[in-house]
Amino acid sequence: MGRWEPNSRERLFAAALELYAERGYEQTTVAEIARRAGLTERTFFRHFPDKREVLFLGSAVMEEQLTKVVTEAPASASPLTAVAAAIEAVSAGMQERQDSVLVRQSVVAAHAELRERELIKRAKLAATMTEALGARGVDPLAARLSAEAGTAVFHVAFERWVEDRGRTRGLVDLVREGFEVLRTVAGGERT
């Protein structure tokens, strides 16, 4: 336990999630998270400013992935198509880590302070995709609206996924359906 171990960030995240689920978010201290992870408080604070930020560990990774997929989409892909590919990729990752994603979600959903933070992080994901589309030469307004509409599709799909307790459909499947429906409602008649 005393020796140095890799992945301290991930271990702190896993420990925090366990404790939040077992005892509740408020009742858990940084000292307890560190102990459960087999690390020191000092190590905790090297990675996170407080116990709230642990829950947002995934944001930076998601931002990187979104940027990468948008950037690498074929030159012929429309902005919304590039955004859809990026969101599907991120969703596939979340589907694989389903258990921890769902525990995290239930902790966030139970605290106004965390829900608000989540909304801000989501706005940042849209900004990330807007920037990546801009770097592809997409017109700024088209970039922004594609990113924002795509983010909306993602979060509708995510909510449906969380609410479907039986998890009868995968997140990726729900995301794909969302983009289909968006194209239908936005591509229909204009009057």
Residue 9 CB, nearest approach to a second copy (Å): 25
Residue 151 CB, nearest approach to a second copy (Å): 7
Q: What are the C-alpha distances in Å from 94 to residues 25, 62, 98, 131, 141?
A: 22, 10, 6, 23, 29
Q: What are the C-alpha distances in Å from 23 to residues 26, 27, 31, 103, 126?
A: 8, 6, 14, 13, 33
Report long-range pairs for 168-173 (Cβ below 8 Å, ≥24 apart). Answer: 170/95, 171/91, 171/92, 171/94, 171/95, 172/88, 172/91, 172/92, 172/95
Nearer to a second copy by Cβ, of 3 and 190: the residue is 190
What gap in Å lies between CA 95 and CA 159, rounded to an integer? Answer: 13
What gap in Å lies between CA 52 and CA 131, rounded to an integer? Answer: 27
Residue 108 CB, nearest approach to a second copy (Å): 13
> 87 and 150 in contact (C-beta within 8 Å)?
yes
The binding site for a second copy (CB under 8 A) comprises 76-81, 115-117, 119-120, 123, 141-142, 144-146, 148-149, 151-153, 155-156, 160, 177-178, 181-191
Residue 61 CB, nearest approach to a second copy (Å): 22
Residue 75 CB, nearest approach to a second copy (Å): 12
